[in-house]
């Protein structure tokens, strides 16, 4: 648990929920299959570190996303005694039925704010996606399982450029009308800026005040945590991130990974914002994740360590002269 004793900076929330999406959003584009037991170990390690909201897999076609072919087995192996909320992405009714059978705590439906990216990402029009979600919400309601909504390309599209804020608002309203009250704005393309974050957060606060907004940033242009800070200033208390900075949308040119969970927690700790996460344990999990995927991850804190980590003076050479 965070040891930060200072009060949160003026105007910022005192407590934030960190939603870990690495086991799904991070691993899905990894070319090497990560063994099921390693995925389970990753999730259990994250829960041990204090993460209480995790997107652990997706119930998609194994042909489309081979990395997620063990979705039910992963869920079956996770320690469910710690009170963590485990969610899974579902693209259609078949996926929703499999997710219910596997015992997810919540299902996540997703679509893009731009028509062109939705066609590339799921090969459907936006309206077709929305029409399909109604059946998923029905399946969720019958099983007593919540359905969350995600909007990809909420801050910009690689094929269309700027995405009108009204497009995001219209989808958010459609979600609300289906009974979806948790909504994630996805910065799939890494095009978010503080100004766009402010604009969209304020528009949604006016249009769907009953909806709990989460922000999901990628660090493609190096301003992911700056956008988090902009969201904090707007009162957002739910942020999605990926351990080690894993991830990157395969349907976005030049895409890079999500903001890094341990980097996010470090920044929140230093702002005096409580997360309930043990940073040292989180860094250890990040290093294990790097071993699992077999290549260096972009997270900074796992390399540099926390600000007040001290070193022996013998660790570096003494200057001559």
Q: Which fold has domain 17-315?
A: TIM Barrel (3.20.20)
Kindly provide the b/e burial profile for residues 276-308, where b requires at least 16 CB atoms within 10 angstroms of the residue's own CB. Answer: ebbbebbbbbbbebbebbeeebbbebbeeeeee
In DSSP terms, 53 is beta-bridged to 19, 85
Q: Could you please report the per-residue DSSP string of 103-157?
A: T-SEEEEEEESSHHHHHHHHSS-HHHHHHHHHHHHHHHHHHT-EEEEEEETTT-B
Give me the helices (H) in 144-260, please. 165-177, 194-207, 224-233
**Alpha carbons 315 and 288: distance in angstroms, whole number:** 24
- pLDDT of amino acid 308: 81
Of 137, 157, 201, 249, catalytic = 249
**Alpha carbons 115 and 127: distance in angstroms, whole number:** 9
- pLDDT of amino acid 2: 43
Task: Output the CA–CA distances (angstroms, integers) from residue 278 to 134, 265, 283, in the order listed.
Answer: 39, 9, 9
* Cβ atoms 113, 102 nearer than 8 A: no
Q: Are strands 53-58 and 238-241 parallel, antiparallel or unpaired?
A: unpaired
- pLDDT of amino acid 315: 83
* Cβ atoms 247, 257 nearer than 8 A: yes
pTM of the entire predicted model: 0.93
- pLDDT of amino acid 4: 42
- pLDDT of amino acid 188: 86
**Alpha carbons 302 and 260: distance in angstroms, whole number:** 10
- pLDDT of amino acid 73: 98
Cα Rg, the chain, nearest whole Å: 19
* Cβ atoms 52, 86 nearer than 8 A: no
Active site residue 249: yes
Question: What is the mean pLDDT, run by run of 10 residues, along the chain of 321 residues?
Answer: 58 97 93 96 98 97 93 97 96 97 98 95 93 97 98 95 97 97 94 97 98 96 96 98 83 70 97 97 96 92 87 83 66
**Alpha carbons 286 and 302: distance in angstroms, whole number:** 7
Which residue is associated with the tokens 């450029």?
161
Half-sphere exposure of 186 (CA within 13 A, CB side): 28
**Alpha carbons 8 and 31: distance in angstroms, whole number:** 40
**Token pair in block for residue 7:** 């009060």
């Amino acid at each position: 648990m965070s040891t930060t004793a200072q009060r949160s900076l003026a105007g910022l929330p005192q407590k934030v929920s960190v939603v870990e999406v690495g086991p799904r959003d991070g691993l899905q584009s990894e070319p090497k299959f990560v063994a099921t037991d390693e995925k389970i170990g990753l999730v259990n390690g994250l829960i041990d570190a204090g993460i209480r909201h995790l997107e652990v897999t997706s119930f998609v076609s194994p042909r489309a996303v081979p990395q997620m072919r063990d979705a039910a087995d992963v869920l079956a192996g996770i320690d469910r005694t710690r009170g963590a909320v485990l969610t899974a992405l579902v693209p259609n009714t078949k996926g929703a039925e499999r997710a219910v059978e596997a015992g997810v705590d919540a299902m996540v439906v997703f679509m893009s704010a731009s028509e062109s990216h939705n066609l590339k990402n799921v090969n459907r029009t936006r309206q077709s996606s929305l029409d399909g979600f109604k059946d998923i919400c029905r399946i969720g309601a019958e099983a007593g399982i919540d359905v969350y909504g995600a909007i990809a390309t909420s801050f910009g599209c690689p094929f269309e450029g700027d995405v009108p804020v009204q497009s995001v608002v219209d989808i958010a309203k459609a979600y609300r009308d289906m009974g979806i009250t948790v909504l994630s704005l996805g910065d799939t393309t890494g095009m978010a800026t503080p100004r766009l974050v402010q604009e969209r957060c304020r528009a949604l606060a006016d249009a769907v005040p009953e909806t709990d907004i989460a922000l999901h940033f990628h660090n493609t242009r190096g301003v992911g945590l700056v956008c988090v800070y902009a969201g904090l200033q707007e009162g957002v208390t739910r942020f999605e991130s990926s351990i080690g900075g894993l991830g990157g949308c395969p349907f976005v040119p030049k895409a890079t990974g999500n903001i890094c969970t341990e980097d996010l927690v470090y920044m929140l700790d230093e702002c005096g914002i409580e997360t309930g996460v043990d940073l040292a344990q989180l860094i250890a999990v990040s290093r294990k994740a790097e071993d699992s995927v077999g290549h260096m991850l972009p997270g900074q804190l796992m390399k540099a360590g926390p600000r007040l980590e001290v070193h022996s003076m013998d660790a570096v050479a003494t200057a001559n002269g």
